[in-house]
Amino acid sequence: MSQKAHSEKSVKHESAHLHVAGEAVFVDDIAEISGTLYAALYPSPQAHARILNMDLSAVEAATGVVATLTAEDIPGSNNCGPILHDDVILADGVVNYIGQPVFMVIADSYLNARNAVLLADIQYEPLPAVLSVREADSLQQYVIPEMRLTSAGVDEAMRQAECRLKGQLALGGQEHFYLEGQVAYAIPKEDGCLQIYSSTQHPSEMQQLVAHMLQRDASQVLVEIRRMGGGFGGKESQSALFCCAAALAAAKLNRPVKCRLDRDDDMLMTGKRHHFEFDYEVAYDRQGGLKALRLDMLVGAGCTADLSGPVATRAVCHVDNAYFLEQVDISARCCKTNTQSNTAFRGFGGPQGAFATEYVIDNIARELGMDALDVRRQNFYGIQSRNMTPYGQLVEDNVIHQLVSQLEQSSDYLNRRQQVIAFNRNSPVIKKGLAFTPVKFGISFNVVHFNQAGALVHVYTDGSVLVNHGGTEMGQGLNTKVAQVVAAELGISIKRVRATATDTSKVANTSATAASTGSDLNGKAAQNAAQQIRQRLTDFISERYSVAAEQITFAEDRVVFADQSLGFDELVMLAYQSRVQLWSDGFYKTPGLSWDKDSLTGSPFYYYAYGASVSEVAIDTLTGESVLLRVDLLHDAGNSINPALDKGQVEGAYIQGMGWLTSEQLLWNDSGRLTTHAPSTYKIPSAADVPTEFNVSLFENSNVKDTILRSKAVGEPPLLLGFSAFFAIRDAIASVADYRINPPLNAPATAEAILNAIDYCQDASNG
Amino acid sequence: MTAADLIQTSQATVRFVLDGEVVNAAGLSPTTTVLQYLREKAYRPGTKEGCAEGDCGACTVVLGELVDGRIKLRSVNACIQLLPMLHGKALFTVESLKSLKDGSLHPVQQALVDNHASQCGFCTPGFVMSLFALFKANAAPDRAQINDALSGNLCRCTGYRPIIQAAEQMASLADSDNWMATPATDQQPIEPEEQALVDLLSDIQGTETLHIQHDDGMQYYAPATVDALADLYLQYPHATLVAGNTDVGLWINKQLRKLPLMISLAGVQELKTIRIDQDAISISAGVSVTDAFAAIQQHFPALKDLFRRFASMPVRNAATLVGNIANGSPIGDSMPILITLQSEIQLRQGSNERVLALQDFYLGYQQKDLRAGEFVQALRIPLNQQQYQMASYKVSKRFDQDISAVCAAFVLGLDDAGKVAHIRIAFGGMAAIPARATQCEAALLGQVWEQSTIDLARARLAEDFSPLSDMRASADYRQRVAQNLLQRFYQQTLNEGTEKPLQLTDLQQVVR
């Protein structure tokens, strides 16, 4: 792509000028209606207990309190679970984790509500609490049945292999830490209707759950979201609790009610990225070729199913990452524990599945004394052969070989490998590490029917255009891309196109903005709507000016036909006066998907996105602290609709993935209380953690599938680029034992974990 | 003077400047935070709440203070600033930045737009304000200064790279016709816009005690003199003393603690002094951590790295160094080095004063040698120690804005024979109080400063401390790291100036 094309496509985020001025309106910024009340939720102090008695008299007597609500006040379904109906809104007799909302207080101010909550007098009968996945597994306590994907010849391949390696690995979860906490604002309307502003990635599901809770029709519930202050999956299903709470109170009291969480309560009440524990056994040959992989995944689901089923499915479907695994035996058991119910988080299990295999390959390389890149490369999927995934989908768009070669060159990987080794020989305290990791990530929802979208495009008589679609804006720039698609289709400047708040009364039955599909689905739907309008305008010109349709072009805010032209605004006014419909709906469904959830086979992905990263780190062998020195990323966004936005996704995802695997540590104490429930104790990366050399490029590509403008989804895949930071740290640790010992390093690689692994390697090496 | 007298000479209205106008804020609870005031009372929702504990920076605003006839701008966290703390200051929020003339974006805002530096946009107003403070202070910030300015701002979307790039470019968009949009230095002649603000602020500098009595039962005093402060506190020894509110703010926001009577140091000009005489540097109770560190660093440059990592820029701007000491947290980062530098504190009770060695101030977990109505008026660091080698190290999960797992401080003097003639070692995070490692010191004193001595002394640390395990680190890790940091200090005393890096910041690629 030329520099010029690059910058022309890189239009600014549609809200950038509002963000920087503090003028972008988030849910809590909406001017409140007079009489608005505030809800606060009481978090269970018990991990597992029966509620014997609830005395709320002191709460009700507190300053400013208007009402208290419990499970008994819910007229319909006391559920906010997305798939299984096992997620109660308010506790019904039993509490299942510390932080679970037990009751709700509604008061005349946010502070009065929060103060009043503390006054509850609740008696519990403690029940046995299960806090670890290993314990849950030994009790066979799962939220859904086990999943297993087994190749016919795995036992045989395992037996016959030249080398075998077994081990365990623990991979921590991750708090979303969207900067805007969970919030919903519900306003009662006439005839039993409710309007809800909810910070959610899934307005339609919020609508459905509220309707079921209140025994009302979906048509009575309108959910709107202009933008979220970050989502990352944390507002896909888990916005529902707060949306339902606000809606219940608003419906009961017939007053506007806002439910906004304090950060600590948010972190205590909501689920996180699933933590995993792995048992692996791998068979390989002496050159590093993978022969068979057994991987047993214990998935930390928490206390309910939430999205754990699809998360585990995606984990199973990403164990292969970029590698041809002919013989596998992969199982996933979603362990039920008395902790927060874990949920969607950018990558949705995919990163966890792929991480295990990368760890195994890292081990093999050290066992064989090879550079890990050489092991990785020889196991990549082939182009004509060796291109079938373990779940039976053919990989037809493989660019990993070119992409990796290009990054190998641009990052000067081989030279730097030598430099790192030389540096370490001479540096007893500070050690450097280098790692190169690839990404292949499947795009589409694993549930076929979610892969649909709708849009509305309105052209007004002054030539301005409004587009509305079912996707939600959480910072990723979806509205910007959709507006670009509409502008391109109508041949007009992006300045004419405005995207508006997602609203269940405009586009119905929408899917969550998740699985990286936002632009693919909604972009196509909006394009479809704009195409219909353009077709009508084409027909209009063709008839009025007697020109063939092929002679009519829409470009640069004009329509040109034969030797004439009209400004777009002139054209639409003429069309309006001739009674041409200037608005249209649009619809899209992804073609050719199949998935059998029982056999875990099919072609669940429309295509794959690829990428690779090189990280160089240094570690301090006295304290275990680490620092990123240089990062090189190359990522495949297809024919990027907006390279600036896509680059932003790539580098942001890298840093988020790096944080997950390094400084972000979730800890629970012995009673099951999350002790890292605020930014003071849970550490996401900050500006000083960004390396001084940070090279980020998009790989020149065009989607072989007919996606929107041949682009590729870019939300989740680059999160896996962060792997290289972890493996670079592991490489640095391994240097203390001359790269002969596999450092037993779990994720996250905190300073303490690193120091432990260093000490292990030094001890093993010395003795 | 009795408290009743004070009330007679007090005023109850908080007066501050916002967008060129004096705001008279009355009738609000004194524990109303600036963030609550902005969002709920002033209808300026641009400033966001991300954590309400000063750890994410979404609420960053800039305060302007009158200093020597000029305006000094500093970023602070609005969520842990109490409204009365604005008294006599100018407040700038993200809404203050767009040009009043034509509505155009401020250079900081434009640079962020140009670099695609916002994604979800929720943290953005906070970044804008931190960068605005940097922009006004420094026309050509380097990467380290940018990191430092952003040390209190979290972004979960961008990965920071475009924000850093915007910070590098913002000065190039300056508009010299507009004081707000010009990087200013003290050397420049004062511009009319700044002069107008100076005049406004001069008008609202009071000499009376600010006394707010709210119908929720809360009382807040901000006396204007040390004597009035001392008298008030003697009269109300159970009052909560507050200076920067960076810790008390969390009691209010997170523990929902009721503080019926607060006495603020913020209005006492006498307590904003740093005095340097021949043998000591004295820092009064109202001096911010930022100003205190700047002064200390001039005499003890080795402490630069620790000071850089102390909390975050906006917290250092709001907090006071004496507050950090008086609070007495076992994980406060200033105390280990101040103890090893043989600092003293000056205590005041009514009209009585006494002096205490800092190391004797801490008696047990959250227990201090403080009498009823007594407060720490100043800190005194003896200067005649510049011949010593010294270092202070902080170990935590994240480089910036994190609480130490272990914080260590070492001060060493060798005699001509290479033997240890003077040694002070203290740790934070290793015990219920910041404390000296007396056994370890004993093993070093009088011995030759060499590896075998260090090995013996390392082992003695286990006699000095039995640390706890918590979410920051295990007891075992703390113990090992404490010992390793002694090793680090030893290596640094030997190896200074050689090519082998001894810590991460020795690497050329590490700019922090």
Write down the ipTM of this complex: 0.97
DSSP secondary structure string for all residues of A425-484: HH-SSEEEEEEEEEEEEEES-SSGGG-EEEEEEEE-TTS-EEEEES---SSS-HHHHHHH
Distance of CA A386 to the CA centre of its chain: 29
- Chain B residues near residue A625 by CB distance under 8 angstroms: 395, 504
A654, A648 contact by CB (below 8 A):
no
Of A712, A106, A211, A294, residue with least CA distance to A508 = A211
CA angle A67, A71, A77 (to 5 degrees): 125
Question: What is the mean pLDDT of the segment spanning A133-157?
Answer: 97
Choose the catalytic residue: A180, A236, A473, A716. Answer: A716
With 0-12 / 13-18 / 19 or more C-beta atoms within 10 angstroms meaning exposed / middle / buried, residue B2 is exposed
Q: Mutate which of A686, A698, A755 to disrupt the B interface (most B C-beta within 10 Å)?
A: A686
A23 near B CB under 8 A: yes
Which regions of A303-429 does DSSP assign to beta strands (E)? 328-336
Which tens digits make up the pLDDT trace of B373-422? 999 999 999 999 989 999 999 999 999 999 999 999 999 999 999 999 99
B128 near A CB under 8 A: yes
Residues sharing a CB contact under 8 Å with residue A20, sequence separation 6 or more, in sequence order: B94, B105, B108, B109, B110, B112, B113, B118, B124, B125, B128
Query: Residue A682 gets which letter from DSSP?
Result: S
Q: Which of residues 82-111 of B touch A (CB under 8 A)?
A: 93-95, 97-98, 105, 108-110
Q: Is the pLDDT of residue A194 over 60?
A: yes
Which tens digits make up the pLDDT trace of A575-620? 999 999 999 999 999 999 999 999 999 999 999 999 999 999 999 9
Which tens digits make up the pLDDT trace of B2-47? 554 554 567 789 999 999 999 999 999 999 999 999 999 999 999 9
B434, B425 contact by CB (below 8 A):
no
Q: Which residue of B has its CA nearest to A266?
A: B51
**Interchain proximity A20–B477, CB inside 8 Å:** no
B235 near A CB under 8 A: no
**Interchain proximity B52–A263, CB inside 8 Å:** yes
The alpha-carbon radius of gyration of chain A (Å, integer) is 27
What is the per-residue pLDDT for A7? 73
What is the per-residue pLDDT for B173? 96
What is the per-residue pLDDT for B5? 52
Distance (Å, rounded) from C-alpha A465 to C-alpha A445? Answer: 30
B483 near A CB under 8 A: no
What is the per-residue pLDDT for A627? 98
Question: What is the mean pLDDT of the segment spanning A110-131?
Answer: 98
Q: For residue A68, what are its two tokens?
A: 């208290």
As a whole number, the mean pLDDT across chain A is: 97
Backbone φ and ψ for A732, nearest 5 degrees, come out as -65, -40
What is the per-residue pLDDT for B100? 81
**For B500, which of A428, A623, A685 is closest by C-beta distance?**
A428
What is the per-residue pLDDT for B207? 83
A665 near B CB under 8 A: yes
B305 near A CB under 8 A: no
Distance (Å, rounded) from C-alpha B405 to C-alpha A719? Answer: 29
Which regions of B12-159 does DSSP assign to beta strands (E)? 14-18, 21-25, 60-67, 70-77, 90-92
Question: What is the mean pLDDT of the segment spanning B457-463?
Answer: 97
Of A703, A485, A716, residue with least CA distance to A590 = A703
- Please tell me the total number of residues recorded for chain A in this structure: 767
What is the per-residue pLDDT for A5? 67
What is the per-residue pLDDT for B1? 45
User: Percentage of residues in chain B with pLDDT exceeding 90?
Assistant: 90
Of B401, B65, B76, B394, residue with least CA distance to B202 = B65
B403 SS3 class? coil
Q: How many Cα atoms sit within 13 Å of B155 on the Cβ side?
A: 34
**For A114, which of B256, B399, B504 is closest by C-beta distance?**
B256
Peptide bond into A748 cis (omega under 30): yes
What is the per-residue pLDDT for A212? 98
Q: Which of residues 465-484 of A touch B (CB under 8 A)?
A: 474-477
Distance (Å, rounded) from C-alpha A405 to C-alpha A408? Answer: 5
Bridge partners for B72 per DSSP? B65
Q: What is the dihedral of CA A734, A738, A740, A746, to 10 degrees?
A: -10
What is the per-residue pLDDT for B185? 65
Question: CB neighbours (10 Å) of residue A658?
Answer: 32
DSSP secondary structure string for all residues of A110-144: HHHHHHHHTT-EEEEEE-----SHHHHHHTT-BSS
Question: What is the mean pLDDT of the segment spanning B151-173?
Answer: 98
Backbone φ and ψ for B38, nearest 5 degrees, come out as -65, -45
Distance (Å, rounded) from C-alpha B374 to C-alpha B404? Answer: 29
Q: Which helix (H) or strand (E) holds B253?
A: helix B248-253
Which tens digits make up the pLDDT trace of A463-474? 999 999 999 999
End-to-end CA distance of chain B: 50
Distance (Å, rounded) from C-alpha B391 to C-alpha B396? Answer: 17
The alpha-carbon radius of gyration of chain B (Å, integer) is 24
Q: Which residue of A has its CA nearest to B142?
A: A692
Q: Is the pLDDT of residue A81 over 60?
A: yes
Distance (Å, rounded) from C-alpha B158 to C-alpha A638? Answer: 21
Distance (Å, rounded) from C-alpha B451 to C-alpha B1? Answer: 61
Q: Which of residues 200-219 of A touch B (CB under 8 A)?
A: none
**What is the maximal distance between C-alpha atoms in chain B?**
72
End-to-end CA distance of chain A: 56
Is residue A716 flagged as an active site residue? yes
- Residue appearing with tokens 């003896």: B382
Q: For residue B312, what are its two tokens?
A: 């975050």
Which regions of A655-743 does DSSP assign to beta strands (E)? 693-698
Distance (Å, rounded) from C-alpha B40 to C-alpha A28? Answer: 10
Q: How many Cα atoms sit within 13 Å of A350 on the Cβ side?
A: 28
Residues sharing a CB contact under 8 Å with residue B264, sequence separation 6 or more, in sequence order: B82, B84, B85, B210, B220, B221, B222, B241, B242, B243
- Please tell me the total number of residues recorded for chain B in this structure: 512
A348, A388 contact by CB (below 8 A):
no
Per-residue HEC secondary structure of B274-335 comes to EEECCCEEEEECCCEHHHHHHHHHHHCHHHHHHHHHCCCHHHHHHCEHHHHHHHCCCCCCCH
**Interchain proximity A675–B471, CB inside 8 Å:** yes
A229 near B CB under 8 A: yes
Q: Is the whole model's pTM more than 0.95, yes or no?
A: yes
Distance (Å, rounded) from C-alpha A208 to C-alpha A197? Answer: 14
Q: Give the minimum alpha-carbon distance from A180 to chain B in angstroms, rounded to a whole number.
A: 6
Q: According to DSSP H, which parts of A674-750 are helical?
A: 723-734
Distance (Å, rounded) from C-alpha A490 to C-alpha A465? Answer: 10
Which tens digits make up the pLDDT trace of A377-423? 999 999 999 999 999 999 999 999 999 999 999 999 999 999 999 99
Of B354, B323, B343, B352, residue with least CA distance to B279 = B343
Q: Mutate which of B92, B110, B119 to disrupt the A interface (most A C-beta within 10 Å)?
A: B119
Which tens digits make up the pLDDT trace of B477-486? 999 999 999 9
Question: What is the mean pLDDT of the segment spanning A6-30?
Answer: 95
A388 SS3 class? strand
- Residue appearing with tokens 């969520």: B79
A161, A283 contact by CB (below 8 A):
yes
A62 near B CB under 8 A: no
Calculate helix-pair angle for A723-734, A350-368, nearest 10 degrees: 30
Question: CB neighbours (10 Å) of residue A466?
Answer: 17
A427 near B CB under 8 A: yes
Distance (Å, rounded) from C-alpha A482 to C-alpha A204? Answer: 20
Give per-residue burial for B145-165: e unless 16+ CB within 10 Å, then b: ebbbbbbbbbbbbbbbbbbbb
CA angle B243, B393, B382 (to 5 degrees): 60
Bridge partners for B264 per DSSP? B242
As a whole number, the mean pLDDT across chain B is: 94
Q: Is the pLDDT of residue A203 over 70?
A: yes
- Chain B residues near residue A29 by CB distance under 8 angstroms: 39, 45
Bridge partners for B73 per DSSP? B64
A643, A1 contact by CB (below 8 A):
yes
Distance (Å, rounded) from C-alpha A270 to C-alpha A341? Answer: 7
Beta strands across the sheet bearing B374-382:
B274-276, B280-284, B374-382, B344-349, B352-357
Which tens digits make up the pLDDT trace of A676-732? 999 999 999 999 999 999 999 999 999 999 999 999 999 999 999 999 999 999 999
Question: What is the mean pLDDT of the segment spanning A160-168?
Answer: 97
Q: Which of A235-244, B3-12, B437-446 has the lowest mean pLDDT?
A: B3-12
